[in-house]
A and B are shown apart, each in its own frame.
Chain A
Amino acid sequence: MAHTSAPLPRSAPETAADLLDPRVREVARRRGFAELSEAQEQAIPLLLEGRNLILVAPTGTGKTESAAFPVFDRLLRVAGPGFKALYITPLRSLNRDILARMQWWCRELGLSVGVRHGDTPQNERRKQSLSPPDLLITTPETLQALFMGRRLREHLKNVRYVIVDEIHELADSKRGAQLAVALERLAAYAGEFQRIGLSATVGNPDEIGRFLCGARPFALVEVSVASHLDISVRFAGEDFAAQTRAVDRCLDAPGSTLVFVNTRVTAEALGHQIFPRGDVEVHHGSLSRDVRVDAEERFRNGEIRTLIATSSMELGIDIGHIEHVVQFSSPRQVSRLVQRVGRAGHRLDAVSRGTILATGFDDLLESLVIARRAKANECEQIVPPSGAADVLANQVAAIAVEYGEIEVSRVREIVERSSVFAGCGPLLDAVCRQMAEHRLIRLDGSRIIRTGRARRYLIENLSMIHDERKMEIFDIVSRRTVGTLDESFVVGWMHTGAVFITKGQLWRVLEIGDGQVTVEPATRAKGEVPSWEGEQIPVPFAVAREVGALRRTREFDRYSSDPGAIRYAEEMLARMDQGNFPVASDRLITLENADEGVVCNVCGGHKANEALARGLSVLLSARYGTTVGIEVGAYRFLLRLPENVRALEVQETIAGLEPAHLPGVLKLVLKRTALFKWKLVQVAKKFGAIDADADYERFSIHRLISLFDETVIADEAYRELFSDYMDVDAA
């Protein structure tokens, strides 16, 4: 396994390695760790002191070993029954690599290790229950399950070390909030333990520390990747053929290349074009596991030189040496670019080389901005969800089952130690009351008592991840089902009147029903913003604003030295200037009349534009008596309006909109959307109102939903939508 190393000067009296138990050192040497990496040098002494630690470093810098060595060291010296260390990783299909490595280490050191996750076979589980290994590798969901078994829970009593890997993936999600509470439950049961978090680069690593440790102290080791990034941005052309040629040219360079694309559709399309080269494979989530593993193997041993991948490649999997990373189309977010490009290099040279191939004007400016921010280490900030009522409900139910009966005050004590639920007293009361409504717990004065339903609920709701349902696409013209879409894509990104592309064809949404989307074939018209099926990554507000600033200042040489890119950008803007069209920027919003309505050019990023568009749609609807359809992009959105409502009217409405009113307006508009209903059902499931496999389509679900109005369930649905889909503050 490759790793960077910064050799210490000879005069240093003691390296971190010397602090380790000789047995660990010996095995490390045998594995090829002659010298420790920068990350390891810094982290190991702190960990050996027993301190909580967050280690921020890119993939391939020996992050896992940094955490593992000190833990192995300690495990060698301590004896006793039960699990002593937990290694928690969010990957649903556990990282095979890490697994294999950990197993190797433990075998060599004489420690026992076990793996437990959703697919672990029954006999393996039994073995762990009867004879618990020193180190247990598991997922957040399976950790929940451990509390539910009497014997397994006892095995947790001696846990002294918890490592959470890929913690940046968890910290801003409800899965993470659930894990944070689980760790507090563990501390309440087993006593305090050492907390170690391994993270990729983020804008605010302190927040990760708070997420993991609550109010407890922690140390932070950051290995900066920014200084090791060499990113260039090139304009690849406006049509797919030209873009493909650009990729081809990049692949002519020697060495292996990882080509990242944003959607599976693009991966396939590009793969198809490039396949004739003979040393290319495609890798994405829709392919079977065997196909993916095969591609990884062949890339690792040099049979193929290029992998075209979507984000399925991002997490930790070791595929050997990568010379070069190509990002096809803007990566949308700085942290994604940093993580992706960070995969290149890591042998003798410490520099990671990456090229972004921009595929259009917006794409180019966005890429330039993101590249600059990446080099300046300005990554997006992690914002953990605060006060997620459904996570609280889930954990209250879990605690009730764990303890049988427990005082509310005790539950509050446990839960409030996590940073995501600090000060949650009133919320906890509301949540408990709602849970009692659905008979998930019983409330007896100040005590919570578990109910008969609770165990079954927990088994079905171990995870905060929601099962993805498929919705049928029904073409009203041919009167056939022409395909399926993930429900989350439909409710999150479609509106009536929206145009999207699936299976290579354009469709317009007529209606979003329960389980079905009714569409008609569409032709691409000016001003429409088609949505792609697949990974929808929102462009952040800060990036969009900077793009707007760039449009205004036109200081392209500050951002890039590539003449082709600069020329293209300047030409586009020149054409706008010639026609006397004002260009929307960070200081200017322009409104254009289009056939279908009004296009608002706002450099706000997806979430802020979503909030703004929805707010305007309801206000215009109220004023002019017509429903308003919307389509949202990062730099513009379309309001579908009747002929009498034009840009002028929209401008008036914007001018009359008080910022303080926006949240209220948005709640109103959200209420009737498929998105809100979908989210409400998800939250309701976590409160035990609806079983995971409930047959609720037989009843009028929208009437049921009105039951949740004004309850903590609806509040949570709004809270999540406001934070995940719409950026109200920015709007």
Chain B
Amino acid sequence: MRLNFVENGPALLVEHDRRVLVIADLHIGIESGLERHGVHITSRSTARTDRALACIEETEPDLLLLLGDVKHNVPVTSRQEYRELPGILEAFRDRVPLHVAPGNHDGGIGRFLEPGELLPPGGALIDGVGYLHGHTHPDPRLFGHLIILGHHHPVVSLIDSVGCAARARPAYLYSGLAASCLPEETPPESRSRLLFVPAFNEFAGGIDVGRLWGSGLGPLSRCIDEKTAEVFLADGTYVGSPATLCPGDRG
């Protein structure tokens, strides 16, 4: 199985028997959320969609997996989302089959989807890889595999001896599962791993990879095995473990 990092996404192509393009946390409709918080900008959904379509073209997947929080506003779906979502999803469907792992912002997303597109809230196993948004407990069948999740919006900042050179860039966190998290019946040789993928939406705030473990966000964050954790940039560059990246943050 191969992982291909699409930098200007950020998006992830998972290649095994099938080619699955993973895009997490689109947060369409975020502009109306921003408006409520006092920031007034016009919708960037078109540019965002175009960016996603470019990822599709570049990777030629068999399946587009939207890993949750496709839309943004809860509990009420905003007018912006009603206006924009159908066209966006249609544009995706035109090019490639579509699945959605529902996220905590996706209340009511079903009305925008066609039958068979919506995955169960506990996640799904596709082509030997587990996928779920990350705000819920995973279906036990996902253990023993690589589990890819969104929801956490991991970011990393690169700091050198004189200051911060790159702030809060989208990042991937890859680790084993802490033993305490594994269900009892899991065989010891199974290889449960976690891969937290960054948010596609450029405005969604993020959690620094070094603080992910203690964040309490989502049930799987505390399952990160710090000894084996690795951080990658959006283009797949390996930059180290969370501990080395954030030395001042221990404790």
Chain A residues proximal to chain B, CB less than 8 Å: 437-440, 453, 476, 495-497, 510-511, 518, 626-629, 640, 642, 688-696, 698-700, 702-704, 706-707
| Interface assignment of B162: CB less than 8 Å from any CB of chain A | yes
Knowing A496-B162, A511-B164, the reply to whether A699 touches B204 (Cβ < 8 A) is yes
Interchain CB contact (< 8 A) of A695 among B37, B40, B160, B162: B37
**Interface pair B164/A496, CB less than 8 Å apart:** yes
Q: In the complex, which residue of chain B has the Cβ closest to the Cβ of A460?
A: B38
Q: Residues of A contacting B40 with CB < 8 Å?
A: 438-440, 453, 688-691
A484 to B41, CA, bound (A): 32
B168 and A700 form a contact (CB under 8 A): yes
Q: Which residues of B contact A699 (CB under 8 A)?
A: 34, 37, 39, 203-205
Residue in A closest to B199 when the chains form the complex, CB atoms: A700
In the assembly, what is the distance between CA of A301 and CA of B224, in Å?
73
Q: List residues of chain B with CB within 8 A of the CB of A496.
A: 162-164
Q: How many Å from the CB of A497 to the closest CB on chain B?
A: 6
Q: In the complex, which residues of chain A have a beta carbon less than 8 angstroms from the beta carbon of B204?
A: 699-700
Taking a contact as CB atoms under 8 Å apart, the answer to whether B163 and A629 are in contact is: yes
B167 at the interface (CB under 8 A from A): yes
Distance between A641 CB and nearest chain B CB, rounded to angstroms: 9
**CB atoms of B163 and A703 under 8 A apart:** no
Is B190 positioned at the interface, with any CB of A under 8 Å from its CB?
no
Q: Which residues of A contact B167 (CB under 8 A)?
A: 702
Partner of B37, one of A453, A640, A689, A696: A696
> A678–B167 Cα gap in the complex (Å)?
15
Interface string of B147-190 (1 = CB under 8 A from A): 00000000100011111110110000000000000000000000
A-B contact pairs, 28 of them (CB 8 A): A437-B41, A437-B42, A438-B42, A440-B40, A496-B163, A510-B163, A510-B248, A511-B159, A626-B160, A626-B162, A627-B160, A627-B162, A628-B162, A629-B163, A689-B41, A690-B38, A690-B39, A690-B40, A695-B38, A696-B37, A696-B38, A696-B39, A698-B37, A699-B203, A699-B204, A699-B205, A703-B202, A707-B44
A704 touches which of B161, B203, B206 (Cβ 8 Å): B203
Closest to A694 in B: B38
Q: Are A627 and B38 in contact (CB under 8 A)?
A: no
Complex CA–CA separation, A690 to B36 (angstroms):
11
CA distance A442 to B168 in the complex (A): 35
The 8 A CB mask of B192-216 against A (1 = contact, 0 = none) is 0000000000111110000000000
B37 touches A694 (CB 8 A): yes
B37 cross-chain contacts in A, Cβ below 8 A: 694-696, 698-699
Q: Please provide the 9 A-B residue pairs with the shortest distance between their CB atoms, ordered closest to farther.
A: A694-B38, A496-B163, A691-B38, A627-B162, A629-B162, A438-B40, A695-B37, A700-B205, A703-B202
- Best-surrounded residue of A518, A691, A700 (most CB of chain B within 10 A): A700
B38, B40, B42, B164: most-surrounded residue (chain A CB, <10 A): B40
Q: Which residue of A lies closest to B202 (CB)?
A: A703
Neighbour of B162 across the interface among A438, A640, A704, CB < 8 A: A640
Q: How far is the CA of A440 from the CA of B164 in the complex (A)?
A: 35
A658 to B205, CA, bound (A): 40
> Which chain B residue shows the least CB distance to A696?
B39
Chain B min CB distance to A680 (Å)? 13
A474 CB to closest chain B CB (Å) equals 11
In the complex formed, the residue of A with least CB distance to B248 is A476
A702-B168 contact in complex given A511-B159, A629-B162, C-beta closer than 8 Å? yes
Q: A699-B34, A699-B203, A700-B203 are in contact. Are A511 and B41 (CB under 8 A)?
A: no
Q: How far is the CB of B52 from chain A (nearest CB, A)?
A: 17
CA distance A32 to B139 in the complex (A): 92
Given contacts A438-B40, A704-B39, 10 further A-B contacts (CB under 8 A): A437-B41, A496-B163, A511-B164, A627-B162, A699-B203, A700-B155, A700-B202, A703-B202, A706-B202, A707-B44
Point out the residues of chain B lying under 8 angstroms from A690, CB to CB: 38-40
Are the C-beta atoms of A703 and B41 separated by less than 8 Å? no
Whether B203 and A511, one on each chain, are in contact in the complex, defined by CB atoms closer than 8 angstroms, is no
A706 to B167, CA, bound (A): 13
A698 CB to closest chain B CB (Å) equals 6
Q: How far is the CA of A689 from the CA of B38 in the complex (A)?
A: 8
Question: Can you name the residue of chain B whose Cβ is closest to the Cβ of A684?
Answer: B39
Query: Which chain A residues border B44 with CB–CB below 8 Å?
Result: 707
Instruction: Give the chain B neighbours of A629 by CB distance below 8 A.
Output: 162-163
- Assess whether B41 is in contact with A693, with CB atoms less than 8 Å apart: no
- For A688, the chain B residues whose CB sits under 8 A away are 40
- Chain B residues numbered 7-46 whose CB sits less than 8 Å from any CB in chain A: 34, 37-42, 44
Q: A627-B165, A642-B161 are in contact. Are A689 and B39 (CB under 8 A)?
A: yes
Per-residue 0/1 for B40-61: is the Cβ within 8 Å of any A Cβ (1 yes, 0 no)? 1110100000000000000000
Complex: chain A residue closest to B44, CB-CB:
A707
Enumerate chain A residues within 8 angstroms of B168, measured Cβ to Cβ. 700, 702
Say whether A627 contacts B163, CB under 8 Å. Answer: yes
CA distance in complex: A650, B202 (Å) = 38
Q: Which residue of B lies closest to A497 (CB)?
A: B162
CA distance A699 to B41 in the complex (A): 13
With contacts A476-B248, A694-B38, A698-B37 taken as known, whether A511 is within 8 angstroms of B163 at the C-beta atoms is: yes
* Distance in angstroms between the alpha carbons of A438 and B160 in the assembled complex: 37
Q: A626 to chain B: which residues have CB within 8 Å?
A: 160-162
Task: Please give, as numbers and ranges, the residues of chain A lying within 8 Å of B159 by CB-CB distance.
Answer: 511
Which residues of chain B are within 8 angstroms of A476 by Cβ–Cβ distance? 248
Q: Across the interface, which residues of A come within 8 angstroms of B160, CB to CB?
A: 626-627
Closest to A597 in B: B162
Chain A residues whose CB sits within 8 angstroms of the CB of B163 once the complex forms: 495-497, 510-511, 627, 629
For B163, give the chain A residue with the smallest CB separation: A496
From known contacts A476-B248, A700-B205, A702-B167, infer whether A694 and B39 are also in contact, taking CB-CB under 8 Å.
yes
How many Å from the CB of A624 to the closest CB on chain B? Answer: 12
CA distance A274 to B42 in the complex (A): 60
Task: Output the nearest chain A residue to B251 by Cβ-Cβ distance.
Answer: A479
Question: B37's closest neighbor in chain A, by CB?
Answer: A695
Complex alpha-carbon distance, A702 and B168, angstroms:
9
- Report A197 CB to chain B, min CB distance, Å: 37
User: In the assembly, what is the distance between CA of A440 and CA of B41, in Å?
Assistant: 10
CB distance from A434 to the nearest CB of B (A): 11
Separation in Å of the A626 CB from the closest CB of chain B?
Answer: 7
- With both chains docked as a complex, state the minimum distance between the C-beta of A650 and any C-beta of chain B, in angstroms: 15
CA distance A703 to B39 in the complex (A): 13
Closest to B35 in A: A439
Note all chain B residues with C-beta closer than 8 A to A706: 202
Min CB gap A465→B, angstroms: 19
In Å, the complex CA distance between A82 and B176 comes to: 78
**B34 contacts across to A, CB distance below 8 A:** 699
Most buried by A among B39, B155, B161, B206: B39
Taking the closest CB of chain A, its distance from the CB of B246, in whole angstroms, is: 11
Tell me the minimal C-beta distance from A544 to chain B in angstroms.
27
CB of B159 to closest CB in A, whole Å:
7
The residue from A440, A497, A698 contacting B205, defined by CB atoms under 8 A apart = A698
**How far does the Cβ of B58 sit from chain A's closest Cβ, in whole Å?**
22
**C-alpha gap A707/B38 in the complex (Å):** 16
Q: Which residues of A contact B39 (CB under 8 A)?
A: 689-691, 694, 696, 699, 704
**How far is it, in angstroms, between the C-alpha of A626 and the C-alpha of B160 when the chains are bound?**
8
CA distance A692 to B39 in the complex (A): 9
Which residues 106-165 in B have Cβ within 8 Å of A in the complex?
155, 159-165
Which residues of chain A have C-beta atoms less than 8 A from B38's C-beta?
690-696
A497 and B38 alpha carbons, distance in the complex (Å)? 34
B42 CB to nearest A CB, Å: 6
Closest partner residue, chain A, to B201 (CB atom): A703
CA distance A642 to B248 in the complex (A): 21
Which residues from chain A contact B42 at a C-beta distance below 8 Å? Answer: 437-438
Please indicate which of the listed interface residues B34, B44, B204 has the most CB atoms of chain A within 10 Å of its own CB.
B34
Which residues of the other chain, B, contact A695 by a CB distance below 8 angstroms?
A: 37-38
Shortest Cβ distance from A669 into chain B, in angstroms? 12
CA distance A440 to B42 in the complex (A): 12
Give complex CA distance A696, B164 in Å: 21
Across the interface, name the chain A residue whose C-beta is closest to B40: A438
Residue numbers in A under 8 Å from B205 (CB-CB): 698-700
Cα distance, A648 to B167, chains bound together (Å): 32
